[in-house]
Amino acid sequence: MAKKTYIDLFAGCGGLSLGLFNSNEWKACFAIEKSFEAFETLEYNLIDRNHHFNWPEWLPKKNHDINDIIENYSVELESLRGKIDMVAGGPPCQGFSTAGRRNENDHRNKLIESYVKFIRLVQPKIIFFENVKGFTQRFDKNKVKGKIYSDYVKSALSRSSTAACIYGYNVFGKLVDFSEFGIPQKRTRFILVGIRKDIDTNLKPESFFDMLISEKLKFASQKGIPIRNDLKAAISDLLRINDVDCPDSKGFKSSFYNEQTSDYQELMRSGCTSLIPDSHRFAKHSSQTTAKFIQFLKFGEKGKALSKEFKEKFNIKKRTIIPLDGNKPAPTITTLPDDYIHYCEPRIFTVREYARLQSFSDWYKFRNKYTTGGKRRSQEVPRYSQIGNAIPPLFAEQAGIILSKILS
């Protein structure tokens, strides 16, 4: 059977598209991503190497801002009506995230309106939308109090317009903890599924979540992994045991693969032939920093942020530092790798270890710089940020299979 078609909005480095590619149920039309750094990673892995996209001739194959696409290609987008099965992806989450400043006036929050405009132009059969938990919570402390953006999206998508030939959607959203679906990370996200009202009145978006629960054990069994995976099971084969020069960073060290010790590691390494993991560059910590990390691992409570008293003792100004517990899933990783200390080595995670926690296959290579800082953080999307912002591919694969079944 022909694969179903989709467009990846706010695609980032390609976590969602990688999952849909791995599901073997979907073929991408194009992706919209503003950051050239993130787009280059997606392009390298899924466009150039795996030919997952049937990119239209009218759209330049490069990074794009969604508002530019809507303004300059609205006719072409309308011409896709009836040809696109799904629009997937959600706007950037930083303005909603409770891990950040949570600013209702963050300009990125307005991308929700752009998302709705895009859906109304293309009118896919189904919608798959992901965002942070804070997307469902009120902005009580800000200027326009009480707005819940998840309610706005549900209301806007459900409306139809006979005059404009626009169909509405039956929509349903729910919070999902990805650690319950094989991801070695406690990461709760708001998932919304919409089904166009004219397709089939018997199709209910709620059924997606029912099937997600009922089929998760079968999916994990087919992938050969447990339904729950801890931090050690995810990255113990990436310990710093056999140092080697980092292939893509002069003056830095990496390490050869160690012996794999879990089914999850075997799955992640499938299809990867390199002896040195991609993007496995160790940070250059000072001797003082390493000494502090040793103390944190020895005396800090594993899996918990360092207490105020502990930070005062070691003169730590940083807001959050968490020495991790290898026997539990990692907490939600952010775009700041120095928030976490490796569970048994006095260092922060490498990019590849970050990717493992998000379930990116080891053959998936990340492009551009590793880190950034200062004012550049608002403009640049280095490797750590690309991964921290992504949808875990293993969850996207499960979602893709179920969404395909619903359409069928």
Q: Are 363 and 277 in contact (CB under 8 A)?
A: no
Tokens of 306: 């360092």
> β-strands 243-245, 253-255: how paired?
antiparallel
Count CB-CB contacts under 10 A for residue 208.
Answer: 23
Residue type, 328: K
How far apart are alpha carbons 141 and 128 in whole angstroms? 29
Kindly give the residue spans of alpha helices, DSSP state H, lying in 239-341. Answer: 263-269, 287-299, 308-313
Widest pairwise Cα distance in the chain: 68
- Among residues 342, 347, 309, which one has the least CA distance to residue 326? 342
Residue type, 331: P
Residue type, 202: N
* Catalytic residue (choose from 13, 93, 272, 344): 93
How far apart are alpha carbons 127 and 41 in whole angstroms? 24
Tokens of 87: 């629009």
Question: Catalytic: 344?
Answer: no
Count CB-CB contacts under 10 A for residue 145.
Answer: 10
Which positions are catalytic?
A: 93
